[in-house]
Amino acid sequence: MTDRSKNKTILGVERTTLAYSEGLRTYMLSVYNYMAMGLGLTGGVALLVTSSPALLQAIMPMMWLFILAPIGLVFFLSFKINTMKFSTAQTVFWLYAALNGVAFSVLFLAFTYESIARVFFITAGTFAAMSLYGYTTKRDLTAMGSFLFMGLIGLFIAMIVNIFMASTMLQFIISVGGVLIFTGLTAYDTQSIKEAYTEGSSSEVAGKRAIFGALRLYLDFINLFVMLLRLLGDRR
């Protein structure tokens, strides 16, 4: 191979790598933007509900519906994301974030605004650090993800048990375990979302992947926030 041919090959590889990196950066920014807007919508709806006594009084008898409905939407989006339209995925994601805001209004009633703001910034810092680690690390986090998923199942069972036991100690253990699990899942999910990127995907496919990735990171953030709030928040 001549020097000119070698130079052309190297230049072609560099251009391909650059195009991939640029596409990946755009894709991940889209994921984070959707997640951030979802969090903003959740917080805005929660503040709106708590600031309106009439609205709060009307919603309170149906609060279990607003707590359970988002769970159903998560499963719906998870199983149907590949077959639904991008616009439908967006609608379901925004609806999920809004319904979560109604459910989260209970937290705004239970904890002071100052402690909510403080814990939010702690959560944001922790999330950013772990997401950055998941994005940049060369270590394969698949094994850690499997372990954390098993821990998540155990955490869910413990939460159900504690509904009947109402144990303060068990609640503390659940909160500590939840912080550890969702901190780890933030790194794992970030790496998984990054690796799901495929260069050359249509805007429809890339958009749906970004929505689903945003949902995963949203869930990590919001659950980490709730666990930290239970540990560090100041009750009214």
Give per-residue pLDDT as tens, 92-127: 999 999 999 999 998 988 999 999 999 999 999 999
Q: What are phi and psi of 26, to 5 degrees?
A: -65, -40
Residue 2 Ramachandran class (φ > 0 left, ψ -120 to 50 alpha, else beta): beta
Q: For residue 89, which amino acid is it?
A: A
Instruction: Provide the greatest CA pair distance for the chain.
Output: 79
Reading the block at residue 204, the tokens are: 């429809």
Contact 104, 46 (CB under 8 A): yes
Give the pLDDT confidence score for residue 11 in this predicted structure: 44
Q: What span, in angstroms and rounded, lies between the C-alpha atoms of 117 and 232?
A: 11
Q: What span, in angstroms and rounded, lies between the C-alpha atoms of 60 and 103?
A: 10
Q: What span, in angstroms and rounded, lies between the C-alpha atoms of 204 and 207?
A: 5
Q: What span, in angstroms and rounded, lies between the C-alpha atoms of 219 and 217?
A: 5
Cα-Cα end-to-end distance for the chain: 75
pLDDT digits (tens, 9 = 90+) for 33-48: 999 999 999 999 999 9
Full residue range of the structural domain in which residue 21 is found: 3-232
Q: 235 forms bridges with which residues in the sheet?
A: 111
Structurally, how many domains does the chain consist of? 1
Q: 111 forms bridges with which residues in the sheet?
A: 235
Tokens 């560099």, located at residue: 14
The pTM assigned to this predicted structure is 0.89
Q: What span, in angstroms and rounded, lies between the C-alpha atoms of 125 and 119?
A: 10
Reading the block at residue 103, the tokens are: 């459910």
Contact 169, 48 (CB under 8 A): no
Low-confidence ranges of the chain (pLDDT < 50): 7-8, 10-13
